[in-house]
Structure 1
Amino acid sequence: MSETTADAPVLTRDEKKTIRIRWFLVGFLILGGVVNYLDRSTLSVANTTIAGEFGLDPFAMGLLLSAFSWPYAIANLPAGYLVDKFGPKKMFAFAAGAWSLVSIVTAAANSFGLLYACRVALGIAESPFFTSALKVNERWFNKSERALPVSLVNTGSQIANAIAPPLLTFLLLTMSWRGMFVIVGAFGIVVALVWLRIYRDPTLKEQALIKGAEAEARVAESVEKVGWAGLLRQANTWFMVLGAFGIFYTVWVYLTWLPSYLQTARGFSLAQSGWLASLPFLCGIVGVIFGGWLSNRLVRRGVATVRARKIPIVGGAILAAAAVLPVAYVDSTPLAVVLLSVGYFASQVPIGCLWTLASDVAPSNQVASLGAIQNFGGFIGAAVAPVVTGAILTSTGGNYTTVFLIGGVLLLVGALSYGLFVKDRSVAAS
């Protein structure tokens, strides 16, 4: 980013230094994403252990694994509105504190019902995090550079997914699954307290320096406010919901069933699967960063902003489908792991761009709201995926063929929805 623009006010050296806080904030949001997803991953890593302790079959475990996602999806709708209304500082701190307390309470659960209730509460508590992060990036970055920091924030989830299998497996084996929940919950309380200390919004001068003419356009745009319900009357919103559903469905098959798949279908031990399951998620870190980098590069080369977001989204979803579909028919374990790794890499290429796309097509006062509605669609897919997978495994005696076929098809649905039907419908583009 250029440090000055033609119409931007001149800042002192000290004022210019304050702009650099935005990258520090991105770094802290990455850390927040790591802690956020470690909380989500605890049940997946403890899948077979908890199933054995509570006597749960695959279908019951699928219900438990989905207990987080459906309340998370629904809670995203008010969460996006609340982030737009109260700002990311308060909402992120509230979310981190709440999800951490829920994780600690989960350690005391002694029945399926209590575990289920805790996962529901966790889904509600975590719902403001990514909408808060989107709001931070919308305030601190302009359109031409926003995809990369948004994608970087989303690498936090992928870093967590990569380190969760070995880290959480180690905690599980050394201090039981209950101790694992307590330790992970304590991390989030620290994150909430630090965030309250460090975060601030940019000043008016900083906004002018960061966004230039874009800031003036956003101010003019906000004069005519679109009602929150008005977002639901726009075609883009519904195709973004459908597209996110297709992509997130398959991502959450990975997140909830991969360790169990490696143990039951490929014969690895709990300790072995903890390390092996991290390989696809390490590839996912690269995928998220690549998607954001590619989108920013396309914008800077003159590609229209919405199209520059759609290219990584569509391309990534198609490549992921091409990798996931053959897994259903592969006998070789090394080849299956390679395909799963390529599939997860490709499925993460769209993730940062999905969030950035919401900030591109929504009015500035509704960025978090549209991002939340899109995330709602994605997490309906995330809620359905574990239950459908569990039902398939129960009815087929643990055969994963149909699981991978459905995942591949839904990735293609996501690609078509974003590629053909999500468009720049602004006056400037018409």
Structure 2
Amino acid sequence: MSISKVFHPPSHTKTAVPQSRRTAWGITAVLVLLYTINYSDKILLGLVAQPLKEEFGLTSAQIGLAGSLFFFAFAVSGFFAGAINKWMTLKWSLTFLAISWAICMLPMILAASFAVLLVSRILLGFLEGPSGALIHTAAYSWHPLEKRALPGAFISSANSVAKIAVAPALTYVIITYGWHASFIVMMIIGVAWCALWLSTWKEGPYGEKRKKQTTPDTSEPTDTNTDAARVPWTAIFRTPTFLAATAAVIPMYALLTVVLTWLPSYFEKGLGYSRLEAGTMFGFPSIAALVAMFSVSFVSDRLMSRGVSSRLVRGVLPAAGLLICGLSMVVLPYIAAPAMTVVVVSVGYGIGCIVIPVMNAAISQICPKPQLAGTLGTFLALMAIGGVVAPYATGRIVDTAISPAIGYSQSFQAFGVLAVVGAVIAMLFINPARDADRVMAHQKSS
């Protein structure tokens, strides 16, 4: 028997746990909504970039700096997800974070300036950093190990939903009422989510702390807290799966942050579309991402449930998508037609997005339940390193390029090369089942 099954038993061994798939997906939907707010806060800078440049006389490098500082704080605070999960319950930690994001909108509403922009984005990044790991931990408590790619895809789809649905709406608000109004809208939405969350959340049957649960042999409640199953953190972080998955998601996240920060500007200043058209087309890559993520994640979960190797399903398959994405970005400078550029960016980026939910599922496979939030927090924090570099680097490239169109395409090309390298590493080294056994063997021998 695989050692990893000691800590991640198959879902059929939990038949005594009362559960509702409707409740599971309902709570997952509420968490997706929170992640949509999270990403909407991120894309807000991209949507107001040109109005801010015009009002305050900012350069592209300054806007890029604000984006990079956000992701720097985002990356740093991501390492605290495990600690927050110990200090507070998921119910109250996510409530606190959502309220904090809303408050971070106030400085730009009341006293906007470049300095205020920098400070508020840094604070927002610091407060958003732990949320990804906590949101995934909450959602995974309602889904068994072999069926986590699809709920992970729904969570990751928040990025796409934000660009498809929220970005056009915020663009309309910005054009009609001014950019200040968009910050007010996001503040109101954040507070409203908290009311929904507090009335719906409860932890699922696959979470860490199920202290009152009946077993097949008795009606007496038993304590199933798995704290004793902890292993040294280095046993998890040094596995080839963790390291290779990190190498894959960093360049993909770099591309994601370039899209969040600069894609509307690319479409407007680089390709010649109007501001409203650029805000609307902001959702095109996300439509492609939604189709790719849901298709691949659904297939991934089905294959895992049927016993197909996790190395193939959660390693080779998403790495192939990242490879296609990287190659599509590499050819961008050689495309002359604006419409074709939009198509290549959209399709390539969309296919590459499958790497994030599937890699999250792979990471959840190699660690014990009590260390899931901490492991995912570290993984997502390392992933955010791409966001620390990419927005500012893109701004500098655009400022020094012959034209905005050339600058943006060269930036996408550079991160596309890194994506190709990450994809190759992932194909060669990711093997969740093997590394789960290694991690648990380490715990058994210690």
TM over 0.5: yes
Q: 2:348 aligns with which of 343, 360, 375?
A: 343
Report the secondary structure of 1:393's partner residue: helix
How far 1:311 moved relative to its partner?
3.1
How far 1:108 moved relative to its partner?
2.2
- Evaluate the alpha carbon distance shift between residue 54 and residue 368 of structure 1 in structure 2; reply closer, same or farther with a 3 A threshold: same
Is residue 266 of structure 2 the alignment partner of residue 254 of structure 1?
Answer: no
Point out where structure 2 has 5 or more consecutive residues left out of the alignment. 1-10, 216-221, 442-446
- Evaluate the alpha carbon distance shift between residue 270 and residue 207 of structure 1 in structure 2; reply closer, same or farther with a 3 A threshold: farther
Matches within 5 A, 1:83-122: 83=85, 85-122=87-124
Separation (CA, whole Å) in 1 of partners of 2:213 and 2:25: 15
Q: Which amino acid aligns with 2:249?
A: A
- What CA deviation, in whole Å up to 9, does each residue of 1:83-118 have, x standing for no partner? 255332222111111111112332223321111000
Is residue 333 of structure 2 the alignment partner of residue 328 of structure 1?
Answer: yes
Separation (CA, whole Å) in 2 of partners of 1:219 and 1:416: 40
- What CA deviation, in whole Å up to 9, does each residue of 1:365-386 have, x standing for no partner? 1111111111112211012101
Q: Which amino acid aligns with 1:427?
A: D
Q: Residue 298 of structure 2 aligns with which residue? A: 293
Q: Residue 414 of structure 2 aligns with which residue? A: 406
Separation (CA, whole Å) in 1 of partners of 2:204 and 2:55: 50
Is residue 211–residue 225 contact of structure 2 (8 Å, CA) maintained in 1?
no
How far 1:239 moved relative to its partner?
3.0
Separation (CA, whole Å) in 2 of partners of 1:128 and 1:26: 18
How many residue pairs were aligned? 415
Point out where structure 1 has 5 or more consecutive residues left out of the alignment. 210-215
Q: Name whichever of 278-287 and 419-428 sits farther off.
A: 419-428
RMSD: 2.5
Q: Residue 201 of structure 2 aligns with which residue? A: 199
Q: Which amino acid aligns with 2:244?
A: F
How far 1:234 moved relative to its partner?
4.2
Q: Name whichever of 283-292 and 176-185 sits farther off.
A: 283-292
- What CA deviation, in whole Å up to 9, does each residue of 1:203-249 have, x standing for no partner? 6599789xxxxxx9x96974241244654444443333322212111
Q: 1:238 aligns with which of 214, 228, 243?
A: 243
Matches within 5 A, 1:332-371: 332-371=337-376
Matches within 5 A, 1:99-178: 99-178=101-180
Is residue 226–residue 370 contact of structure 2 (8 Å, CA) maintained in 1?
no
TM-score normalized with structure 1 length: 0.89
Q: Residue 65 of structure 1 aligns with which residue? A: 67
- Evaluate the alpha carbon distance shift between residue 428 and residue 241 of structure 1 in structure 2; reply closer, same or farther with a 3 A threshold: closer
- What CA deviation, in whole Å up to 9, does each residue of 1:311-347 have, x standing for no partner? 3320210111122222111001111111011112112
Is residue 367–residue 436 contact of structure 2 (8 Å, CA) maintained in 1?
no
Is residue 427 of structure 2 the alignment partner of residue 419 of structure 1?
Answer: yes
Matches within 5 A, 1:208-247: 222-228=227-233, 231-247=236-252
TM-score normalized with structure 2 length: 0.86
Report the secondary structure of 1:46's partner residue: helix
Is residue 140–residue 207 contact of structure 1 (8 Å, CA) maintained in 2?
no
Is residue 62–residue 388 contact of structure 1 (8 Å, CA) maintained in 2?
yes
Q: Residue 213 of structure 1 aligns with which residue? A: none
Is residue 290–residue 349 contact of structure 1 (8 Å, CA) maintained in 2?
no
Q: Residue 279 of structure 2 aligns with which residue? A: 274
Q: Name whichever of 69-78 and 345-354 sits farther off.
A: 345-354
Is residue 77–residue 373 contact of structure 1 (8 Å, CA) maintained in 2?
yes
